[in-house]
Structure 1
C-alpha cells in the first residue's frame, strides 16, 4: 500500500488528511509490511517517531535510517521524505507526532543529526523506555482535553485509539510538554555519535561543557583551563574547527537556554537573563531580539516559532 501525500503539510496515514501547520497531532500505529508514505514536497511541521516494536525505514532528503525499538527519529520541515515498514520487518509499531518543535529542543537533537534535518536518537536505554512510552500516553490524553476544561472527556480514549489532535492552547502546551520530556529523556541518555572527523577532543569537550551548563560563568580562560590549553590556543582552535569563537558559541547556547526558560517557566525576564548567564538585562534584551526577532516578553507571549 503506497500513499502519496505531496500536497500535505503533516503526517499522512492512509486515508487521513494531514494537519495544518501549528497544530499538535499524534497517533499510535501498528502497520503491516507494505505500509509506505511518500511526501515529495516534505512537510511544514516536524515529525517525531518513536518505535516500540518491529522496524521502520525513514528517509529525509538524501539521508535515511532504519528505526528499531527504542529509537526516536525526527524529521525537520522542508525536505522530501518518506517512511514505512522496513522490508524485512514483520510489522512497525510506533508513535508519531506532528508539531512545531520548540527552539530549545534543537541543541538536544543536534548531536544526532544524520544530515538534511534527519535526527536519529539511538539507542535509548531499556530502563527509560517505559517512561518514554508513558510520556506519549500522557501526550495523547492531554491532546484530547476538550477546549476550556481541565480533564479529558469521558470515553475519548476509547473513541479513536489511533489519532489525537490538540485543538486549544492548553491542550497543545500540555502535549508539547510531554513531547519535550521524550526529547530530553532520549537525547540525554542515548549514545551520542562520535565527534566529527578531525575535531580535536579538547574542542569537543569545551562544546560539552557549554551545552551542559550554559548559564555558568564560563570564560575563555576558565574553559581553556578545563582542557589544558592556553586561552589564545583554545580560541584559535575552536574558531578554526567550529566556525565561531568560544564566546559566540556560549552566547548562542545561553540564548537557547533563555528561550526554553521563557517557554517553560513564569520566571521574570530579568531572572531568566541571570539564570542564562547574562549579567546585564539590557544586553540580554538586545541580543535576544537580534537572535529571535522579538524581545523576550513578546517571545513568551507566543510570538512566531523560530526553528534554527
Structure 2
C-alpha cells in the first residue's frame, strides 16, 4: 500500500496534528509491517507501557524528541522506545515513503542487557546496522516474526518471540561494538566451518583452503583476531558439542567422540578432561544429578597425565 490506511489503529494511525495516537499494550508481543506514505505520523506524549522497536527496511522515517531534536531513521536503522518514552515518529519528507517493521513487546529478563542502546534522547535508543550479514539477518528475523505473529497455531507466538529475540541479539551485537562482525570475513568463515563441521577431523590445510588462504596466513590471522589458535578453536567447538551430547543423549563415550571429530575415545577423554576438569562420564553424571569427580573406570584417560601438565 502507498500510505497508512485510515483503519490502521495499531501501533499507529496517520495523524497530521499532535494528538495522542491510540494503541494497544502488548501482553507479550504484537508485531506488523507498514508501507507508509507522507501523511503517516504517530505521537504519544507518554509513550506506551511496553517496549517498541521500529526498523527501517526502505525509505526513511523521522523521529523527534520531546525537546524538538530530530533524527532521520534511514534504511538499516532502528529505534527502540522504552516504556513511558515520548513517541513522535513519522515518514520523512524526503523521500516521502517509509517501509518499516515494528514490534511492541514485553522483554524477558534475559533480554534487558541487549536493550542498552546508544541514546538519542532519554528512553529512546538508536541502532545503525552495517551493510553486512547483520542487516540481512535482522530484516529476515523481523519479517519472520511478523509472519508468525499472524498465525493461529499453538506454537506461532513462541516462534514469533524467538524471531524477535534473534533480531534483538543481532542489534545488540551491532550497538555493542560488533565483536563478531568486526572480525575479518575469512576468520568468520573459519569459525563457521569449525562450529558447523565438528564431526570432521581437524585439518588446518582444508580449512585454510576453504577460506582462500594458505595455512600459515590463516593461522596468523586467526590468532591475531581471536587470541587463540585454530586447533584451540576447534577443540572448543568440539568440547561444546560433546557437553551437549553427554548431557542430553545416552550415546556411548566412543560414539560421542566420533560425533565430535575425535579419532578415539582415549584422545577425546584427554581433551575433554583438559578443558573441563572432568572426564566425559563424570560430566554426564554431574549433569544428570549424580556424583561428581573424575576417577571413573569408563574413562580411557582416567590414569593418564593431562595434556599440558
Q: TM-score, normalised by structure 2?
A: 0.48
Relative contact order (C-alpha < 8 Å, sep 6+): which is higher? Answer: 1
Larger Rg: 2
Q: TM-score, normalised by structure 1?
A: 0.48
